[in-house]
Amino acid sequence: MNIQKKEFESNYLWFLTLSYTMVILLANWFDPRLIKIFNLTTDAGTLIFPLTFLLSDLITEVYGYKHARRAIWCGFLFNAIFILYGQLVIRLPNPDYPTQNAAFDLLLAADFRIILASAVSYLSSEPLNSMVMAKLKIRTHGRYLALRFVLSTALAAGVDSFIFGTIAFYGVMSNQNLMSLILTMWLIKVAIEMLGLPISIKLANKLKQLEKLDIYDTGTRFNLFALDTSYSQKNNHY
């Protein structure tokens, strides 16, 4: 028997997807800037990047992996547009009178390694985070929400930090400093996720009530390149 699939109506999914995309843009903008906090060195993007895991966890938990996957591609697309437009702007002619364009161009000058590191780590960790979250939800029958949030983020953040740090900074610093940087990025991402748990859990439960949705990805094909976002009524356990 064929089960009809449909798009469930949502009042808040658009805002979560938009927020996710904006956080991705901000994180990648600040990634090249290294900072030091309490003798720990990391890149500035690490401070805001964990919000992407929190937002994708929320989308996956309430609306399902398929919608998280769409948000991931939205983030990737607009980040690519942002980078490409920036490269176009700094190559356009300057006016004849003095400007601050040189300082601005220096900010937008693309480091190919940073761009490559961001793209590879993003497309490796973000789908992994949502997939682990969705599969754990099925295995635990929707229980242990806090544990699922932390486990999925810990795994995905580890993959993200290792890939980004290795591609972006290998050879630029000593191996010891590089491993310290990777570990610091991972710890900060997991710590921020854990600190935000009370808020993320409350938001997830509230969204389920408001949307009357609690999607389980039973039967979902976790193909990153699929674009289907429809679910059947049996996937909604609200």
> What is the span of the domain harbouring residue 28?
11-221
Q: Decide if 105 is inside a domain.
A: yes
Q: Which pair of tokens denotes residue 195?
A: 């600190």
Overall average pLDDT of the 163-173 stretch: 87
Q: Decide if 131 is inside a domain.
A: yes
Domain count of the chain?
Answer: 1
Residue 224 has, within 13 A of its CA and on its CB side, a CA count of 14
| Mean pLDDT for the chain overall | 88
Q: Decide if 141 is inside a domain.
A: yes
Tens of pLDDT, residue by residue over 21-77, are: 999 888 877 866 778 877 777 777 778 888 888 999 999 999 999 999 999 999 999
Q: Decide if 206 is inside a domain.
A: yes
Q: Point out the least confidently predicted range of 85-89, 102-106, 165-169.
A: 102-106
Overall average pLDDT of the 91-119 stretch: 81
Our CA angle for 231, 233, 235, nearest 5°, is 60
Residue type, 75: G
pLDDT class for 2, splitting at 50, 70, 90? very low
Q: Decide if 229 is inside a domain.
A: no
Q: How far apart are CA 165 and CA 159, in angstroms?
A: 10
